[in-house]
Amino acid sequence: MLESAWVDRIHARLLVRYGSSWVAKYPGIPDELVKHDWATELSGLRPEQIKHALEHLPPEFPPGVTQFRDLCLRAPEPMAPRLPAPKADKARVAAELQRMGSIAKATSPLQWAYRLQEREKQGETLTGGQRAAWRAALRDGMDVAISGGTFSAIDADKLPPGMRPQIDAHVALMESAA
């Protein structure tokens, strides 16, 4: 239940705002019963919600408790405190991305394409089909047969938003290696 001091302050504000209209709202009903009803109905509301309701009272008539509660519930949610953005060491980030690229190459279903890419870098002459295949696979995420199954890379725009920066970094690393 809302504390009686809060209900007293709300009622005082409504009395000042609406005057005789407020007094006439509950004729013949003892103040204690009206205040108890308000305390019960407004239970669980935050002070900023009550403040919002008091700042948005209807101009023409005093609200009943349910109308007042509805006004309270229209208050915007408070902003959660945020941590400052982390400070990143660019050299360390680059080194970690390089390391992650190496791990990705070693465990990727596209490992065949990475091997062909590396062989070409070492000066080996590949066939036109080999060159085109590894480039297309790393660029487009070509379907790759794996132990009787098929691996299909997921389009980056279909990934959850939190994974997209990782994929963008991986693609950038692959493009810089090509």
pLDDT tens, position by position, 90-123: 888 888 888 887 666 566 677 788 888 999 999 9
Same structural domain, 21 and 63? yes
Give the residue from 73, 99, 130 where a domain finishes: 73
Per-residue tokens: 5? 């001091």
Same structural domain, 161 and 99? yes
Same structural domain, 36 and 114? no
Same structural domain, 60 and 96? no
DSSP 61: S
pLDDT at 170 (0 to 100) = 65
38 close to 6: Cβ distance less than 8 angstroms: no
CA dihedral 25→27→33→39, nearest 10 degrees, is 10
Give the residue from 73, 103, 127 where a domain finishes: 73
Q: Please indicate whether residue 163 or residue 18 has the higher confidence score (pLDDT).
A: 18
Same structural domain, 102 and 131? yes
Is residue 52 in some structural domain? yes
Domain count, the chain: 2
pLDDT at 9 over 80: yes
Same structural domain, 107 and 66? no
pLDDT at 110 (0 to 100) = 78
Question: pLDDT digit string (tens) for 37-85?
Answer: 999 999 999 999 999 999 999 999 999 999 999 999 999 998 888 888 8
pLDDT at 148 over 50: no
Kindly report the average pLDDT of the chain as a whole number.
83
User: Per-residue pLDDT averaged across 152-171, rounded?
Assistant: 69
Quickly list H helices, the chain. 4-18, 20-23, 31-41, 47-55, 65-73, 90-107, 111-121, 128-140, 164-177
pLDDT at 146 over 60: no
pLDDT at 147 (0 to 100) = 43
Per-residue tokens: 126? 């590949």
> Which sign does the torsion angle of CA 132, 144, 160, 92 carry?
negative
Is residue 78 in some structural domain? no
Give the residue from 21, 41, 73 where a domain finishes: 73
pLDDT at 29 (0 to 100) = 94
Q: Provide the 10 A C-beta neighbour count for residue 116.
A: 21
Is residue 79 in some structural domain? no
Residues above pLDDT 70, as percent of the chain: 79
Is residue 84 in some structural domain? no
pLDDT at 132 (0 to 100) = 87
109 close to 138: Cβ distance less than 8 angstroms: no
Same structural domain, 159 and 134? yes
| Long-range residue pairs from 130-135, CB within 8 A, at least 24 positions apart, any chain | 135/178
Residue positions counted in the chain: 178
Same structural domain, 124 and 169? yes
Coil, strand or helix at 64: coil
Give the structural domain span for 18. 4-73
